[in-house]
Amino acid sequence: MNAPLYLVDASIYIFQAHFSPATVAYATDGSDRSAFVGFARFLIRFLRQLRRRHDEVLVAVAFDQSLFSGFRHQLYPAYKSNRVLPDDNLALQLDACFQLCETLGVSAFGSRQFEADDIIGTLCIKAADEQPVTIVSRDKDLSQLLLRQQDRIWDFQSQTFRNRDDIQLRFGIWPEQFPCYLGLVGDSIDCIPGVPGLGPVAARHLLQAYRDLDVLYNELDSVASLGFRGARSCQQKLETHREQAQLSRQLARIVCCHTEDCAEPFAAVRPEALLARGFDQPGFTELLKSLAVDETETQRLIRQLDGGVV
């Protein structure tokens, strides 16, 4: 099946709604329901756009469920140590967001070992040679998956699409170089250390000259001769923090699982199983009722599901 494949990074849209003052929603007892309602609004609008564009479309939604339990945390306990586990109310909403996907006719996946990025990466490699893949996210880390010209990242909020050439123009490196780039500069959002004192400009110079970390470290003695400002000090920093750079690259690299060495459901799924189905309105209404979403917001979401303008 060569229907286009859309892979959604759920966390971006859930937490955007959870923290945004623009999305405020409550249960009948006053409990916050903003994360669920905001995600529901997004997902309905997104799926309606796809239905207008395509007769058939494959969709999967990836959830992050591995905070402090995933393999990266085992490699480096400080990984994402600036995060906190969701409280009971947010955990309830996250579970409801997962259930929401079923009522809206799309597949959802999560894992205690792998992150949403890994789920998306694994599903990317299942695409047929000519099958276009669109990753729905604002996360630059997912750029590393744009290995083919027909693949792209869709920032749904700004309705902006970027392919691998756009990434190279914006960041000065190719998508497949992102793990090495983050191995050098680190990522404070995810507590990836990188090489202390080595910034984005130097990292771009190094990757333009050496392509990846392996080549860079094989030819480390030539770094000082590159001529960019700070090249000589870069060589010393790279030597001092060699193991940290390699660990940081490992943390930043998206893992694409193969069926033969991974028992996770997302690794075994066949692309045709991701075919988007119709909306289950009774199931949707029942889900809203189980969350006790207040009546005004419930009616607004039902109108949106029915195709009304909200």
When comparing pLDDT for 258 and 131, which is higher?
131
Q: Quick check: is 310 in a domain? A: no
Write down the pLDDT at residue 308.
Answer: 57
Write down the pLDDT at residue 310.
Answer: 41
From CA 301, how far away is CA 307, in angstroms rounded?
10
Q: Do 133 and 182 lie in a common domain?
A: no
Q: Quick check: is 164 in a domain? A: yes
Q: Do 137 and 162 lie in a common domain?
A: yes
| Number of domains composing the chain | 2
From CA 46, how far away is CA 58, in angstroms rounded?
13
Write down the pLDDT at residue 263.
Answer: 86
* Contact by Cβ (8 Å): 60, 106: yes
Q: Do 225 and 156 lie in a common domain?
A: no
Write down the pLDDT at residue 309.
Answer: 46
The pLDDT tens digits for 203-258 are 999 999 999 999 999 999 999 999 899 899 999 999 999 999 999 999 999 999 97
Q: Do 160 and 179 lie in a common domain?
A: no
Q: Quick check: is 149 in a domain? A: yes
The beta strand positions in the chain, using DSSP E, are 5-9, 58-62, 107-109, 133-136, 152-155, 160-162
From CA 302, how far away is CA 80, in angstroms rounded?
37
From CA 126, how far away is CA 134, in angstroms rounded?
13
Q: Do 137 and 283 lie in a common domain?
A: yes
Q: Do 159 and 56 lie in a common domain?
A: yes
Average pLDDT over residues 54-58: 96
The pLDDT tens digits for 91-106 are 999 999 999 999 999 9
The pLDDT tens digits for 263-292 are 899 999 999 999 999 999 999 999 999 999
Q: Do 185 and 237 lie in a common domain?
A: yes
Q: What is the CATH number of the domain that holds 196?
A: 1.10.150.20
Q: Do 226 and 98 lie in a common domain?
A: no
CA-closest candidate to residue 255, choices 111, 60, 122:
122
What is the SS3 assignment for 54-120? CCCCEEEEECCCCCCCCHHHHHCCCCCCCCCCCCHHHHHHHHHHHHHHHHCCCEEECCCCCCHHHHH
Q: Is 258 exposed, middle or buried (0-12, 13-18, 19+ CB in 10 A)?
A: exposed
Q: Do 129 and 15 lie in a common domain?
A: yes
**Partners of 121 in beta bridges:** none
Q: Quick check: is 280 in a domain? A: yes
What average pLDDT does the chain have?
Answer: 95
Q: Quick check: is 117 in a domain? A: yes
* Contact by Cβ (8 Å): 22, 42: no
In the chain, the amino acid numbered 286 is E
- 74-101 burial, b at 16+ Cβ within 10 Å, e below that, comes to eebeebbeeeeebeeebebbbbbbbbbb
Q: Quick check: is 134 in a domain? A: yes
Domain range enclosing 16: 5-171+256-305
Q: Do 128 and 188 lie in a common domain?
A: no
Which letter does DSSP use for residue 230 in this model?
T
Chosen domain end from 207, 227, 252 = 252
Confidence of residue 307 (pLDDT cuts 50, 70, 90): confident
From CA 224, how far away is CA 235, in angstroms rounded?
6
**Partners of 162 in beta bridges:** 153
Tokens for 96, please give them: 């409801």
Q: Do 105 and 71 lie in a common domain?
A: yes
Q: What is the CATH number of the domain that holds 101?
A: 3.40.50.1010
In this model, does residue 175 exceed pLDDT 60?
yes
Write down the pLDDT at residue 11.
Answer: 97
Write down the pLDDT at residue 258.
Answer: 79
Average pLDDT over residues 29-53: 97
Q: Quick check: is 75 in a domain? A: yes
Q: Quick check: is 42 in a domain? A: yes
Q: Do 131 and 271 lie in a common domain?
A: yes
Q: What is the pTM of this model?
A: 0.95
